[in-house]
Amino acid sequence: MIKQIDLMFRTMVAELQQRAFDDDWADDFPPSGRFVPVTVDGRRYWYFDQPDGEGGQKRRYVGPADDPLIAERVETFKGEKSDYKARRKFVSTLTREAGLIAADRFTGDVIQGLAKAGLFRLRGILVGTVAFQCYSAYLGIRLPSAAILTGDADLAQDFAISAEVADSLPPTLDLLKQIDPTFRPVPHISGSPRSHAFRNQTGYRVEFLTTNRGAEEYSDTPANMSALGGASAEPLRFMDFLIRDPVRSILLHGAGISVVIPDPCRYAVHKLIIAGRRQNDAGGQAKRDKDLRQAGMLFDALPVTGHGPSLADALEEAWDRGPAWKLAIAEAAEIMHKEYWDTVNRMVGVLDR
């Protein structure tokens, strides 16, 4: 049974997360500018107008007006003094004393570069194993290092949101080359000139994903994403379920990186679905094993951390989406690792009656 870390360390995580968000906010929105509400398709958003030094204004997207954290920061807007050194000490304490695992240095540098460029402000979401690492801090639990090893970084953005924000990252390839000049676009299997992935000479891969629009004409080609600095994104089935209602967390690297990740309940259920649909070749089996282990750990941890009802709701929502979803969940539950088999099958069994 997974146990939570001490309350003192959980409080430290919450403080670090707030300070990291505050620091990003201060960098992005200096006192010389002002916040402007804009209504788009009946929903209210905040934008930030800042003098461009040439007599005009530069406008940048901030986020939905109904996001409580953004609304609070707009209300109390002022310049914030960075406390970088104090945050580094927090990260050191959480990794050395609380036993939480930091991101590897290169992954941390990649995510930090994209975060500073505005990826999460533009409602990008960190997904995949790097997001799974963040659940250690978000839930206040220790995760075994074997479950979080990765050689890539996966980022997602909803297709409609990418067009809706009317803002963009700087050129994504340029951002990545600032971290490692050997990054190159990866040709898409369809032959499309657009690329949704970038890889360096060591094989480290940065990949952008998006929601599947449903039409067959879009299924095998990368989607053009206007907010991703020239990068496209691979449309994937079930991605809409994963990235709905994401949460804010912290990636333990440097002084802490404020990130946006999928809700852990949705991540756990999504991993079940994906595991149940993996191919039976060697590559598929290895990925399935990792999917099942991550899902099992979260099914074990979420009830302990007070998220049991939300996990049940997410599982029921997926179960009710149709036969293909039910089949994938049921098949993954049957082959779940033995240490998590009872927990997972107990919850799935309730839906299958």
Tens digits of residue pLDDT in 82-139: 678 899 999 999 999 999 988 999 999 999 999 999 999 999 999 999 999 999 999 9
Q: State yes or no: pLDDT of 52 exceeds 90.
A: no
**Is pLDDT above 70 for 204?**
yes
pLDDT at residue 80 tops 60: no
List the Cα angle 230/61/173 in 5-degree steps. 20
Question: What is the 3-state secondary structure of the chain?
Answer: CCCECCHHHHHHHHHHHHHHHHHHHHHHCCCCCEEEEEEECCEEEEEEEEECCCCCEEEEEEEECCCHHHHHHHHCCCCCCCCHHHHHHHHHHHHHCCCCCCCCHHHHHHHHHHHHCCCCCCCCEEEHHHHHHHHHHHHCECCCHHHCCCCEEEEECCHHHHHHCCCCCCCHHHHHHHHCCCCEECCCCCCCCCCCEEECCCCCEEEEEEECCCCHHHCCCCEECCCCCCCEEEEECCHHHHHCCCEEEEECCCCCEEEEECCHHHHHHHHHHHHCCCCCCHHHHHHHHHHHHHHHHHHHHHHHCCCHHHHHHHHHHHHCCCHHHHHHHHHHHHCCCHHHHHHHHHHHHHHCC
pLDDT at position 146 over 70 = no
* Mean per-residue pLDDT, 239-263: 96
pLDDT of residue 267: 98
Give the model's confidence band at 221: pLDDT under 50 very low, under 70 low, under 90 confident, else very high: confident
What pLDDT does 180 receive? 96
| Residue predicted with more confidence, 125 or 216 | 125
In the chain, the percentage of residues whose pLDDT exceeds 90 is 60
Mean pLDDT of 6-27: 89
pLDDT over threshold 70, residue 353? no
pLDDT confidence bin for 147, thresholds 50/70/90: low
- Does the pTM of the predicted model rise above 0.85? yes
Please tell me the least confidently modeled range out of 78-82, 124-128, 310-314: 78-82
Q: What is the pLDDT of residue 214?
A: 63
For residues 20-30, give the mean pLDDT.
82
In this prediction, residue 219 carries a pLDDT of 62
Residue of higher predicted confidence among 281 and 212: 212
Give residue 128's identity as a one-letter amino acid code.
G
Q: What is the mean pLDDT of the chain?
A: 89
pLDDT given for residue 231 in this prediction: 95
79: confidence class by pLDDT, cuts 50, 70, 90: low
* Lowest mean pLDDT segment, chosen from 51-65, 112-126, 251-265: 51-65
